[in-house]
Amino acid sequence: MAENKIEIGSHCLISWNVGIADSDFHPLEPAQRVIDAQALAPFFKNRPPRPKLNTAPVKIADNVWIGMNAVILKGVIIGENSVVAAGSVVTKSVPRNTVVAGNPATVVKTFTA
């Protein structure tokens, strides 16, 4: 789901149940979440406007493989030829030719060519 922009390059493999988020989808502050819930409730009359969400585009370069159940968070750029292991939570950008794994995802391998 995108509030801002999610860009996916050519020849990418994205497995099932992968989450790609360019925002937090809901405010983090408790009082703002109450307003957000009211703004989204279809039965709530005179709904208030949704609070502003922090967004940052996500870019997935060419020839990237993202394993099942991985989560890519806002503002992340995944470099060309990289691999995101299954179940990883990517919170920071990934250099090209790199394999990342874990929560939060860390570099586990770099390809030489």
The 3-state secondary structure of 69-92, one letter per residue:
CCEECCCCEECCCCEECCCCEECC
Tokens 């179940």 label which residue? 87
Q: Are residues 74 and 104 in the same domain?
A: yes
For the entire predicted model, the pTM comes to: 0.86
Check whether residue 61 and residue 50 sit in a common domain: no
Cis peptide before 104 (omega within 30 of 0): yes
Query: Does pLDDT of 1 surpass 80?
Result: no
What total number of domains does the chain contain?
A: 2
**Window from 36-50, 53-67, 73-87 with minimum mean pLDDT:** 36-50
Indicate whether 11 and 33 sit together in one domain: no
**Range of 43's domain?**
27-55
Residues 47 and 65 in one domain: no
Chain mean position to CA 110: 22
pLDDT at 99: 98
Are 89 and 110 found together in one domain?
yes
65 and 13 in a common domain = yes
Rounded Cα–Cα distance for residues 77 and 93 (Å): 5
Q: Are residues 66 and 98 in the same domain?
A: yes
Which is catalytic among the residues 6, 12, 14, 26?
A: 26
> Known catalytic residue: 26?
yes
Q: Which token pair is 31?
A: 């009082």
Q: Are residues 66 and 11 in the same domain?
A: yes
Instruction: Report pLDDT for 93.
Output: 98
Q: Please indicate, yes or no, whether residues 14 and 68 belong to a single structural domain of this protein.
A: yes
In a shared domain, residues 66 and 108: yes
Mean pLDDT, range 81-108, rounded to an integer: 98
Q: Flag whether pLDDT at 82 surpasses 80.
A: yes
H/E segment holding residue 98: strand 98-101
